[in-house]
Structure 1
Amino acid sequence: MKLFRASATLILIAVGMVARCVASSNNPPCPENDAQQTGAAVQIDPASVGDDTAWHVTLSPYLWFPGVSGTVGVFGRNASVHLGPVDVLSNFDIGLMGAAEFRKKRFVLPVDFLWVKLQADRATPFNPGVSYINAKLTQTIVTPGFGYRVIKNDKLNVDARIALRFWHLGQNLTFQPSGLFSNTSQSANWIDVVGGGKIEAAVAPKLLVTIVGDAGGGGANLDYQFVALGGFKVSKAITLQAGWRYLDIDYTTGRPFSFVHNVHQQGAIAGLTIRLK
């Protein structure tokens, strides 16, 4: 709910800024108009205004360096996992991350993909008689969505979005000291429906700010994320971006095959956006 309120507040602020510029168009010119006259302004997407009817595609490979904190468990055996960003990097096995966006006029088709494998040494067990747990986690998240651009101009774009978030989680827990059932593995697959939005604004020549947020559930009790990015336009086709991402998931199934993944991840994110057409 906090994410929804924050997103709504940001959207209202953005709408207010646009309305103020429109209302003052007959008096002092808006800052964006001044920038256009001096040639200093940078457009978010030159194809986002006008009567353009072509499809436009952007690709955004990125790297995310999150800390991981929460509770994981399989078959009634749970452990508390706490890894900082440095710990995650040292325990990072392999990963692949990226996003793409397909747009025609005001209709937007975004998709985000994340696949990582990591290992947490000496996770804290909740079970008596267990000294520590080695936890190996495999996480795959695919989020295709549909959006509509409610505000569309060369300085500010605001999208309302709805998406399906497909989750695959694999958890392998090795209990120490070893004994009967010392190595336990289980996986889970589910789908959540999330709704939210995206705000993209040109705040200065060559500088962009992007805010993305969504929340929902379905297979999970709760599933939400928030992303804030600053961007620098290297050229018309390439924008460098960096910022922060927070992702929270609360997924639990009942016995006898209980699976627990109540984890939040947050950390720095960096990448680039490539405009193909």
Structure 2
Amino acid sequence: MKRFRLAALGAAGASALCTFNAFAADPTKQQDEGWTITVAPYLWASGINGESGLFGFPPQDVDVSFNDVLQHLKFGFMGTSEARNGRFTISTDIVYARLNADIGTPRGILASNVDASVSTFMGTALGGYSVYYQDGTTFDVVAGARLWSADNRFEFHGGALDGTSASDGDTWVDPVIGAKFKANVGNGIYLAGWGLVGGFGAGSKSMWDVMAGAGYQFSEKTSMFVGYRAVHDNYSHDGFVNKVTQQGPMLGLTYQFSIAQ
């Protein structure tokens, strides 16, 4: 059913705007200079496949490309940041996306068309500690939480349901643990990645998030990063089901500045 497809698009749209902070410039250069702040806008060109369900109906298979997401995306906002002081880091990521679609009906008995709107939010906060921290290379262990929220609204026009509306969605929090790394390889090039797991039944039944890629340092403050990311989430509650995997290439730009002690 198309409403299940739209719900999947919403999840993909949100995730297409979501990442962490592996794009930083060399963090070990500022270990004696107070806080180093990194901000990074980026794009994750992800598709989505899995199962999605609303209103207690049996979950439907979904297979949505990144082009499908772009066709329905009306508004999106994301921002990620990291604050580092020596071996200690604090990172945040905030994502919001809204998708809209006008869904036609086969016979128009219950409704001639349905206006559908999907709003999704993902916010992540992590604290980290570098267990390896020298020569332009860091290996961090991290822990924190990821907040998910999805709101699916449908307005019916024409037919027996003319003027009525329905909505379904949920909000949940996943505890998250994992590791991140970054390694300078010379000539301004660096490698970076992360692996995260979460949920553990507290929010999602299970969740994982992995990424690997490479970047190029244009200057002391700016760099570009390319990589590949895959995220899986398995959540269900009271008829709402989100059991999907999203994956695709990503491209990011970073800006870094220091706050001296």
Deviations 1:1-51 (A, max 9, x none): xxxxxxxxxxxxxxxxxxxxxxxxxxxxxxxxxxxxxxxxxx8235255xx
Look up the SS of the partner of 1:75 in the other structure.
coil
Alignment check: 8 A CA contact 1:161 1:197 kept: yes
Aligned position for 2:50: 70
Aligned position for 1:156: 137
Aligned position for 1:188: 170
TM-score after normalising by structure 2? 0.76
Deviations 1:39-97 (A, max 9, x none): xxxx8235255xx1511111111122211222222221243332111222222222112
Look up the SS of the partner of 1:276 in the other structure.
strand
Aligned position for 2:223: 239
Is 1:275 the counterpart of 2:259? The answer is no
TM-score after normalising by structure 1? 0.71
Is 1:58 the counterpart of 2:19? The answer is no
* Aligned-partner Cα distance in 2 for 1:84–1:251: 21
Is 1:204 the counterpart of 2:225? The answer is no
Q: 1:222 aligns with which of 206, 219, 224?
A: 206
Report the CA distance between 1:180 and its aligned residue.
5.5
Give the structure with the larger helix fraction.
Answer: 1
Q: Please say which structure displays the higher CA radius of gyration.
A: 1
% same residue:
30
Is 1:98 the counterpart of 2:79? The answer is yes
Paired residue type of 2:65: G
Gaps of 5+ in 2: 1-24, 104-113
Look up the SS of the partner of 2:40 in the other structure.
strand
Aligned position for 1:249: 233
Aligned 1:17-28 pairs, distance under 5 A:
none
Is 1:116 the counterpart of 2:97? The answer is yes
Gaps of 5+ in 1: 1-42, 123-132
Aligned length: 224
Deviations 1:222-267 (A, max 9, x none): 122112221111101001112122121111013xxx2111122111
Aligned 1:20-59 pairs, distance under 5 A:
44-49=26-31, 52=32, 54-59=34-39
Aligned position for 2:64: 83
Bigger RCO (CA 8 Å, 6+ sep): 2
Give the aligned CA root-mean-square deviation in angstroms: 2.9
